[in-house]
Amino acid sequence: MIRRTRTEPRHRLTRENTLDEAAFDVVTPESAYWVGFLMAAGSITRAGTRSPAIAVTTADEDRTHLERFRSFVRAMDPITVGTRDGFRDASRSYLSVQVRSGRLAKTLARYGVVPYKALVARAFELEHNEHFWRGCIDGDGSISVSPDDGVRRPVISFACRSRELAGQFADFAREAIPGCEIEEETRTPRAYCVIHAVTLRGDDCVEMARLLYGDGHAALPRKLAVAQEIMGEFGDGSHAAVRDVVPAVVGATRWTPPGGPRPGTLQPRLF
């Protein structure tokens, strides 16, 4: 007599079943960081009946950082290389990775990372989280030591197309560094492109660098290196300008109606 034995079907490893769709369910230093990075340097698109596509884009020298994101969400999707027109250069290359997940898109919408967010981006739940803002700075900000009247001075800046998001960073800076001096500027680098920038200099930059980059959590390596240089060289306050410890009078370029949201505010749209 022949006895038949039932065997379980072999589980085939695919991109879909390795993706960690719960990666952003709980707020941790790393998940908050990647939400901020996605807010600044990511996008969510949806076409037809397919799951939403979540894409992250970096400069071509930041491949290791993109690999870290893939590792965080456990994605097997490949890193692709592309080129795009730059403001100054004829073209420049970039790296990108894209994953598809309806659940990830819904979770990210809780925090304000939604499709078509460039002009109306606003953070929810994480607007007071330093890890989130480190991700934003790494994705669409700058940190450097610049000559100021012949004197080296540290500068940290966050720039984006959303007045609301820029205003939230300014509010975060005021709460984190009482009495700090904040420069808020609106500029138009090219036609139909308005940029809102928030900048801290000197001692205020040192304090912000220490707050954002001093904890050893996830960070873009090249910006982390500059932050560590600033903390090492200017951390004792001997090289930075002394500030008056009084609330800064800022916000001339940012209008806030009494009791209401800033222009361009949108609630997150769930899928």
176 and 90 within one domain: no
DSSP string spanning 145-186? EEEETTEEEEEEEEEES-HHHHHHHHHHHHHHSTT---EEEE
Q: Domain for residue 89, yes or no?
A: yes
155 and 219 within one domain: yes
Q: Domain for residue 54, yes or no?
A: yes
* SS3 label, residue 80: strand
What crossing angle do the helices spanning 63-73 and 29-41 adopt, rounded to 10°?
A: 120
Q: Give the predicted TM-score (pTM) of the model.
A: 0.80
CB 264 within 8 A of CB 164: yes
Q: Collect all residues with Cβ–Cβ distance below 8 Å to 210 and sequence separation of at least 6.
A: 231, 235
* Tens-binned pLDDT, residue by residue, of the chain (271 aa): 444 444 444 444 444 568 999 999 999 999 999 999 999 999 999 877 889 999 999 988 999 999 999 999 999 888 898 876 554 454 567 899 999 999 999 999 999 999 999 999 999 999 999 999 999 999 999 999 988 778 899 999 999 999 999 999 999 999 999 999 999 999 887 777 899 999 999 999 999 999 999 988 999 999 999 999 999 999 864 433 333 322 332 333 333 333 444 444 444 444 4
110 and 47 within one domain: yes
Q: Domain for residue 174, yes or no?
A: yes
104 and 177 within one domain: no
227 and 144 within one domain: yes
Cβ neighbour number for residue 142 with a 10 Å cutoff: 16
Q: Domain for residue 251, yes or no?
A: no
Could you give the CA distance from residue 260 to residue 99 in angstroms, rounded to a whole number? 36
Q: What is the pLDDT of residue 91?
A: 58
* Total count of domains within the chain: 2
Domain range enclosing 196: 139-234
112 and 181 within one domain: no
Q: Domain for residue 239, yes or no?
A: no
183 HSE (CA, 13 A, CB side)? 14
93 and 46 within one domain: yes
115 and 21 within one domain: yes
Q: Domain for residue 91, yes or no?
A: yes
**Which domain CATH number covers 27?**
3.10.28.10
What crossing angle do the helices spanning 202-213 and 163-176 adopt, rounded to 10°?
A: 90
CB 182 within 8 A of CB 254: no
Q: Collect all residues with Cβ–Cβ distance below 8 Å to 155 and sequence separation of at least 6.
A: 142, 143, 144, 145, 146, 199, 200, 201, 205
Q: Domain for residue 8, yes or no?
A: no
**Residue with token string 């037809």:** 48
Torsion angles phi and psi, residue 29, rounded to 5: -55, -40
112 and 182 within one domain: no
